Amino acid sequence: MAPGRRTPSLGDELEELRREVQHVRGTLPDRINVDAEGVEQGLAQLVLTLIEFLRLVLERQAVRRMEGGSLDDEEVERVGLALMKLEEKVHELAEQFGLKPSDLNINLGPLGDLL
């Protein structure tokens, strides 16, 4: 770690996550138009999009911790493998519901698109 830099605390990381969630909240519609035939696919898309969002947040947090030196090589390997498996599972489930990876994208306003 560079001299003078401190490792972000859990409180700092939670505050950053709270800010990111506030940005996302503003982009979601107030009402969802429900079509009886598309409910299952729409629900799957929503859930998988949220999981993908959380996976990306966790990935960023892991990179910050790795760069900050708070993860040893074994932890980096475990976290990387877990995130890769989660990404594969999300894409596998998306395919089962007839969704493409691009269908799991949302616009995060000033932050741009999720994917």
Q: Is residue 22 part of a domain?
A: no
Whether residue 28 is contained in a domain is answered as no
Q: Domain for residue 82, yes or no?
A: yes
Q: Report yes or no on 88 lying in a domain.
A: yes
Q: Is residue 101 part of a domain?
A: yes
**99 part of a folded domain:** yes
Structural domain contains residue 67 = yes
pLDDT in single tens digits along all 115 residues of the chain: 555 566 777 788 888 888 887 777 766 666 666 666 678 888 899 999 999 999 989 999 999 998 998 988 899 999 999 999 999 999 999 999 899 988 888 877 777 787 7
Residue 104: inside a domain? yes
Range of the domain at 45: 39-115
Tokens encoding 53: 């969002």
The pTM (predicted TM-score) of the whole model is: 0.62
Q: How many domains does the chain have?
A: 1
